Amino acid sequence: MKIKQILTCSLLAAVLLTVVQNTSATTINFFDGNELGFVNYGIPASGAARVTYVNTMIGLNLGGSTVVTISGIDNTVTRSLNNFGPLAEAVLGTQTTYGSDVSSVNIDLGTGGFLYLLAKYDGPNYGSEVWYVGGMSGIITIPGSADNGKYGISGTALFTGKKVPDAGSTALMLGAALTGLSFVSRRFKK
């Protein structure tokens, strides 16, 4: 009878631990290990402009910066020193707009699949923070304001990435193409 009770208690403890782990949110912050970079000012904040900012950031060297001009407005895009390895080109997923001051914002990444998160702070007055969220899932929490509460969050955007074939797939496709070309050239020589 004791073994049955021990097993029941162990199973209950495992279930409770799983529930507690799944209900807690991961917090990411400015200048942490997840920061991909910053866009000053991040306007316009349209979906297409946001894609341009993130993809420009991805293309920069660590710690590098450049100016991106959209609709006549100069925006300085700066890459953090965090190295995430090769990064896929950003594809816009979902966007959310916020209209009130909040201390923090919960973002649901679902089962994962998102690579980048952009948070726009205070319209044209501050900028956009970009984080790398690849490999994360569930709820994450980000700051609801920047610069000690001076600039409130105005919107977020989540991005997936374009699939880039790995080196093995590229070699396989090249081999198949060359085989096809040799077959075609033999057919025409006859």
Q: Is the pLDDT of residue 23 over 80?
A: no
Flag whether pLDDT at 163 surpasses 70.
Answer: no
Please report which confidence band the pLDDT of residue 97 belongs to, taking 50, 70 and 90 as the band edges. confident
CA triple 77-82-85, angle to 5 deg: 100
- Give the 3-state secondary structure of residue 162: coil
Q: What is the dihedral of CA 106, 111, 117, 123, to 10 degrees?
A: -40
For 26, the token pair is 């991961």
DSSP 8-state secondary structure symbol assigned to residue 46: -
Q: Could you tell me the pTM of the whole model?
A: 0.74
Say if residue 143's pLDDT is above 90.
yes
Rounded to the nearest 5 degrees, what angle is found at the Cα of 99, between the Cα atoms of 139 and 134? 30
What is the SS3 assignment for 144?
coil
pLDDT averaged over every residue in the chain: 82
The per-residue pLDDT for range 46-79, each reduced to its tens digit, is 999 999 999 999 999 999 999 999 999 999 999 9
Residue-level pLDDT at 190: 59
Among 27-36, 95-104, 116-125, where is mean pLDDT lowest?
95-104
